[in-house]
Amino acid sequence: MRINVAQLLKEPVGSTRSHKINTSIDDEGIDSVKGELTMTRTNRSILVAGTLRAATTGTCNRCLNQVRCKYNFNLEEEFFSIIDISSGSVSQGESDNSNAIDNNNMLDLTEMIRQYSVLSIPTKLLCIPECAGLCPSCGDNLNQGSCQCSNQNRNEHLAKLVKLGKEN
C-alpha cells in the first residue's frame, strides 16, 4: 500500500491526513486487515498511527479444528523523507531505509502493516475459550461429548506424575 505524501510534507507541522486500510497479507495467512491510519506531519518526519482489525485462519491449539481469529492491534511508526521537499536536496536525516519516504514522496505501508499484523496474532489460537481439546488416549474431540475411554485408561498416562506428587 503506497501513499503519496508530497502534499503533506509541504504542509505545516501538525497537519494530518487519514487513510482507510482494507488489505490482506496472503503470504502470512492473514485474511484481512481493516481500519484507519492517521498521518501527522512532524518537524522532521511523518508519524503514522492507528488501530487496525485483522483476521486470520488457523488451527485450534487444543482440538485441532479450523478456527477464524479476529484481533485488534495498534501501530505507530515514524517515516523520514530521503529528499527535502522544498529544496530537492538529499536529506541528512535518519540512515535507516526501512522507514524511508522514497524519492517520489511515496510512503510504503505494506511492510509495516505486515509486521504489526504478524506480531499481533495470538500465540494460542482457540476455537472457544473453554475448548476441552482431544482425549489423550483415543483422540476424540471432547467438545463433542465425552469419549468411550475409561477414566482408568486416561489416568494411566499420568500415574507416575500422580505418584511423584503424593510422595512429595
Stated pTM of the model: 0.70
In angstroms, the Cα distances linking 2 to 62, 105, 122 are: 39, 10, 27
Choose the most confident range, by mean pLDDT, from 26-35, 65-74, 133-142, 144-153: 65-74
pLDDT at 163 over 60: yes
CB count within 10 Å of CB 79 equals 20
**How does residue 153 score in pLDDT terms, banded at 50, 70 and 90?**
low
- Domain-by-domain residue ranges, the chain? 2-127, 132-168
Q: Average pLDDT of 101-123?
A: 88
The 10s digit of each residue's pLDDT in 25-64 is 877 778 889 999 999 999 888 999 999 999 988 899 999 9
* Share above pLDDT 90 across residues of the chain, in percent, rounded to a whole number: 36
pLDDT at 15: 93
Task: For 102, list phi and psi in degrees, rounded to 5.
Answer: -70, 180
Residues 71-97, mean pLDDT to the nearest whole number: 72
Strands 16-25 and 30-41: antiparallel
85 has a pLDDT exceeding 80: no
With a cut of 80, say whether residue 73 has pLDDT above it. Answer: yes
pLDDT band for 95, please (50, 70, 90 cuts).
Answer: very low
